[in-house]
Amino acid sequence: MPEFMTLGEIASAARTNLDKNLWDYLTGGADTEASIRRNRIALDSVVFKPKVLNNVSEISLSREFLGNRLRIPVILPPIGSIQAFHAGGGSSVAKAAEDFGTMMILSSACQPSFEEVALVGGAPKIYQLYLVGDESWMDDVIARSIESGYDAFCLTVDTAVYSRRERDIHKRYIPGSGRQVGQSRGEPFNYQASMNWETVLHIKRTFDIPLVLKGIQRADDALRAIDAGVDVIYVSNHGGRQLDHSRGCLDVLREVTKVVQDRVPVVVDGGFLRGADVIKGLCYGATAIGMGRLLGLAMAAGGPSTVVRALEILEQEMQITMGLMGIADIDDLSPDLVEVTVPMPGSANVLDAFPLISEGY
């Protein structure tokens, strides 16, 4: 019998393995952490409207994204300092992505280098960059990522300044993702603060590689990105770790997909931790779902093999959800299968997706 049979067991093992600093870094957010709670509330406020008497004896979960066939439409998104959760860092994520059959996005704020990670396994990879240098520096990095074989390039656009993450501040903990000791929150994040739409246009004019914009939280910004030639819209509030009191990402997704209308793929993350969460995002038009905290939990619980196990459990949950919804093909998921209702009472928590943890399981 596998070591882990539920995603909650993986989350519990991660909490046991991590010290307080790393646990708070993984599960915490900005200021009051309202954005984290809103991510969860947005997901829990959506209910299913299942169909019956449909043949669901065979369920298809596979989908193509950026020319690559994914076993399930779930990608492993960028996490800064992922090496803090497993020594292999980005290389461990690349191994897990290959072993399961999905795609990864490598953060520029992790180890080892993007050129080293590019050599690990055969899974499709996207490179995500924070601007810590000027335009010529950026151009050099993009050119090297193309030469290394990355399938796309991702620019994160929601980090103009550092946020205040009070779990870290209270402990005087400085994460190992590029911030320097003594550097206060609210300061410009290197060249991120000067980034603008001309930066996007420059990348599209200069390089022949699909461009992903990560951190879109408005429909009009999504439309402007498409007009600028962006190839993938990535809806995200940085897991609630940047702007406090931002909307839940599932709420933003509904707004964005209505205006995008399938012109480009839309990826979303923010609070997605269970198979049912993934299905809700797909019903509202997402092409794929990023699951950063689940990736971090699984890496901390046991490394790449546990990431693969988490994705296997996630796949099972998705199959069961779709079967009970009366839907056999993931491409048949649509907004008429879900409905926004009154959220369940009680305070939302980042780990509400795993209720048995609070009972000691």
The string of pLDDT tens digits covering residues 322-335 is 999 999 999 999 99
DSSP annotation string for 78-103: --TTGGGTSTTTHHHHHHHHHHHT--
pLDDT of residue 345: 73
Distance set, CA 324 to CA 52, 121, 229, 278, 300 (Å): 8, 36, 39, 15, 32
Would you state the pLDDT for residue 100? 98
Q: Decide: helix, strand or coil at residue 210.
A: coil
End-to-end CA distance of the chain: 18
- For residue 46, give the DSSP letter: E
H-assigned helices in 235-303: 249-260, 275-283, 292-302
The mean pLDDT of 237-256, rounded to a whole number, is: 96
Decide if 59 contacts 328 (C-beta within 8 A): yes
CA distances from 141 to 144, 200, 225, 280, 290 (A): 5, 15, 22, 36, 24
Q: Where are the domains of the chain?
A: 7-339
Confidence band for 182, pLDDT divided at 50, 70 and 90: very low
Average pLDDT of span 35-42: 95
Weakest-pLDDT range from 71-75, 164-168, 260-264: 164-168
Q: Give the type of residue at 27.
A: T
**Token couple for 7:** 């995603």
Average pLDDT, the chain: 93
* Token couple for 193: 């603060």
DSSP summary character for residue 116: H
Q: Give the β-pairing of 63-65 and 68-70.
A: antiparallel
Give the up-direction half-sphere exposure of residue 71: CA atoms within 13 A in the CB hemisphere: 19
pTM of the model: 0.94
CA distance 220 to 109: 29
Domain 7-339: CATH superfamily is Aldolase class I (3.20.20.70)
Across 275-284, average pLDDT: 98
Give me the pLDDT at residue 348, please: 77
User: Residue 185: pLDDT above 50?
Assistant: no
For residue 69, the cross-strand partners are 64
Tokens of 285: 């038009």
86, 65 contact by CB (below 8 A): no
pLDDT at 197: 97
Active site residues: 238
Confidence of residue 297 (pLDDT cuts 50, 70, 90): very high
Q: Give the H or E element holding residue 267.
A: strand 266-268
Helix spans in the chain (H) = 7-17, 20-27, 34-44, 90-100, 114-118, 135-148, 166-171, 197-206, 219-227, 249-260, 275-283, 292-302, 304-325
Burial level of 131, CB count in 10 A (0-12/13-18/19+)? buried
pLDDT digits (tens, 9 = 90+) for 51-67: 999 999 999 999 999 99
